[in-house]
Amino acid sequence: MKNIPAMKIAVVAASRNGFSEELSANRRKKVAEIYRSKYDEADIYECPICVGDNEVSVGRVLKNIQKEECNALCIYLGNYGPEIAETMLAEKFFGPVMFCAAAEDDSEDLFDGRGDAYCGMLNASYALGIRNKRVYIPEEPVGDTAECAEMIHDFLPIARAVEGLRNLKIISFGPRPNNFLACNAPIKPLFDLGVEIEENSELDLLDAFQKHEGDKRIPGLVEEMATELGAGSASPGILPKLAQYELTLMDWIRTHKGQRKYVALTSKCWPAFAPQFGFVPCYVNSRLTAKGYPVACEVDIYGALSEYIGTCVTADAVTILDINNSVPRGMYEESIRGQSFIDGTYGLRDLFMAFHCGNTSACKMKDCKLCSHQMMSKNLPEEITQGTLQGDLQSGKATLYRLQSTAAGKLCAYVAQGEILPVATKSYGSIGICAVKGMGRFYRHVLVEKHFPHHGAVLFGHYGQAVYEVFRYLGIEAADIDYNRLEGDFYETENPFYRGLSV
């Protein structure tokens, strides 16, 4: 996957005077050995220097891990650990940081072989608070060597997202379409996250597109598109224009990323786009997203931000979809009621259809085809509405999430796990039947109550744990991160006396 950081996590053992440094170093070695045996060795670097009570060790450790080009750090309390030096190291390190600690591992040696890291983690947490330093601490931060290796692996996608955002530029084209307040949000919180933004007119994009006419790379890209689509290209004549547009965007990324390493995009794709460009951009947007350059529709800047987070977390294609329409009762009765799926059975109000005009990558759809835009072709000539990718979404586990700014400039988010059902939608666009336990209540008391827009980012798998931790690492308060609560776990605004309709 392009356009995301390659992570290398330095594992540094901490050791406090009065405890055995050898114990801490040996535990670190075992953690690193287990990690290498189970996961990718290139992801991890075992620092041979322990951070100790002497603050000089902080500088030595930093010099060592910088030389090894590490961009994430795990501070491992192999024993009690020196809270001043270890948190100073966290403060001075330039990338994402996690803490974890060693459980006692020898019941026959609880004199010289006892590390007391269970206690040390408390002091580390207190000292981090004093320094106002945000780090990742796992749900159960004290574990044996195998468990700590797994914690470090869990940190990898979180670190990748945090590092990616620090080096991200979002490039947008055009203002939001008229009568489209939904994705209106202040951009200052982007800068608070360290994200850069470049806002352009769609006229700038049109000018750049026209300058790519006759580009010598177009035929090769047309061939690539035709191979990807196979029998699904109902509009092969439009491919040269789509290839020209894709080259325009990729060249814009290359020449406009500036000091940033990574880019996400969003553009005004209607109403004037089709008449001026001669096609709709959905398929090209889907192709860039599959390559790691997510493109959000309708100048949805926070949608692009959310998609990029998911790209980093999964190292895979994501999509952005409207939380769009209810599932007809007849379809539910015929194909869903009583059926057991990945997460069990579902009621009608657990379901909704997620849809967009045709922006989901072909690799995440089944039997998709390139065709005309269903809605735009009602008001425009069909030949200029070609370029959308139509078909049902790939079924399987899914995660629905979004990071958003309120109108007052406060960051908030939600994440919900569920699945895309293997049930035909009998509809158009990039679309799927999504199931989320308690979706009806989540829809009312999170999405509606807290004024989230209708666009939701979707990951093809269960990644709620990592996405939630990314939100926490970015500084979003737990009270501002919502999730789908199950029966008996009331939302703050929920009427406890309401008796909802059941199916």
N- to C-terminal Cα separation, the chain: 43
The predicted structure's pLDDT at residue 107: 67
Does residue 250 sit in the same domain as residue 314? yes
The predicted structure's pLDDT at residue 42: 84
334 occurs within a structural domain:
yes
The predicted structure's pLDDT at residue 58: 97
What is the pLDDT confidence band of residue 90, given thresholds at 50, 70 and 90? very high
Q: Is the pLDDT of residue 248 over 80?
A: yes
329 occurs within a structural domain:
yes
3-state SS, residue 268 = coil
Does residue 181 sit in the same domain as residue 151? no
The stretch 138-159 carries a mean pLDDT of: 97
Q: Rg of the chain over CA atoms, in angstroms?
A: 25
Task: Output the CA–CA distances (angstroms, integers) from residue 166 to 161, 235, 393, in the order listed.
Answer: 9, 40, 31
**Nearby residues of 132 by Cβ (< 8 Å), 6 or more positions away:** none
What is the pLDDT confidence band of residue 402, given thresholds at 50, 70 and 90? very high
Q: Is the pLDDT of residue 501 over 70?
A: no
Does residue 121 sit in the same domain as residue 152? yes
> Which backbone phi and psi does 107 adopt, to 5 degrees?
-70, -15
Does residue 278 sit in the same domain as residue 229? yes
Helices 239-256 and 282-290 sit at what angle, rounded to 10 degrees?
A: 50
**Nearby residues of 77 by Cβ (< 8 Å), 6 or more positions away:** 13, 14, 24, 86, 99, 100, 101, 102, 115, 117, 120, 121, 124
Residue type, 2: K
The predicted structure's pLDDT at residue 364: 97
- Among 165, 193, 226, which residue terminates a domain? 165
The stretch 154-165 carries a mean pLDDT of: 98
489 occurs within a structural domain:
no
Show the CA angle centred on residue 297, arms to residues 292 and 302, nearest 5°.
Answer: 75
CB–CB of 401/416 below 8 Å? yes
Q: Is the pLDDT of residue 473 over 60?
A: yes
The stretch 9-21 carries a mean pLDDT of: 93
What is the pLDDT confidence band of residue 375, given thresholds at 50, 70 and 90? confident
Q: Is the pLDDT of residue 478 over 60?
A: yes
> Which backbone phi and psi does 14 adopt, to 5 degrees?
-110, 140
34 occurs within a structural domain:
yes
Of 372, 177, 172, 375, nearest to 279 by C-alpha is 372
98 occurs within a structural domain:
yes
3-state SS, residue 12 = strand
What is the pLDDT confidence band of residue 500, given thresholds at 50, 70 and 90? low
The stretch 200-218 carries a mean pLDDT of: 97
The stretch 133-137 carries a mean pLDDT of: 97
Does residue 258 sit in the same domain as residue 389? yes
Q: Is the pLDDT of residue 40 over 90?
A: no
Name which of 20-24, 293-297, 483-487, 495-499 the model is least confident about.
495-499
The predicted structure's pLDDT at residue 234: 63
Q: Which two tokens stand for residue 34?
A: 């287990």
Does residue 155 sit in the same domain as residue 61? yes
Q: Is the pLDDT of residue 256 over 90?
A: yes
How many domains does the chain divide into?
A: 2
Span 318-341, pLDDT tens digits: 999 999 999 999 999 999 999 999
The predicted structure's pLDDT at residue 483: 97
Q: Is the pLDDT of residue 96 over 70?
A: yes
Does residue 173 sit in the same domain as residue 134? no
Does residue 287 sit in the same domain as residue 316? yes
What is the pLDDT confidence band of residue 175, given thresholds at 50, 70 and 90? confident
Q: Which two tokens stand for residue 14?
A: 């901490």
* Sheet of 262-267, strands arranged across: 196-200, 168-173, 262-267, 295-297
Q: Is the pLDDT of residue 115 over 90?
A: no
Give dist(CA 124, CA 154) in Å, integer. 20
Whether the CA torsion 68, 73, 78, 81 is positive or negative: it is positive
pTM to 2 decimal places: 0.95
Q: Which two tokens stand for residue 403?
A: 């990071």
Looking at residue 477, the DSSP 8-state letter turns out to be: -
Does residue 346 sit in the same domain as residue 380? yes
Q: Is the pLDDT of residue 111 over 90?
A: no
User: Residue 499 CB: number of other CB atoms within 10 A?
Assistant: 6
Give dist(CA 347, CA 338) in Å, integer. 9
What is the pLDDT confidence band of residue 128, given thresholds at 50, 70 and 90? very high
> Which backbone phi and psi does 9 adopt, to 5 degrees?
-95, 120
Q: Is the pLDDT of residue 266 over 70?
A: yes
The CATH number of the domain holding residue 158 is 3.40.50.10940
Does residue 190 sit in the same domain as residue 73? no
- Among 108, 132, 165, which residue terminates a domain? 165
Its domain, for residue 125, covers: 9-165
495 occurs within a structural domain:
no
- Among 165, 200, 215, which residue terminates a domain? 165
Does residue 449 sit in the same domain as residue 352? yes
The stretch 118-130 carries a mean pLDDT of: 97
Does residue 47 sit in the same domain as residue 72? yes
The stretch 255-281 carries a mean pLDDT of: 94
Q: Which two tokens stand for residue 325?
A: 């329409």
Q: Is the pLDDT of residue 503 over 70?
A: no
Q: What average pLDDT does the chain have? A: 94
The gap from C-alpha 436 to its chain's centroid, in whole angstroms, comes to 18
The predicted structure's pLDDT at residue 273: 92
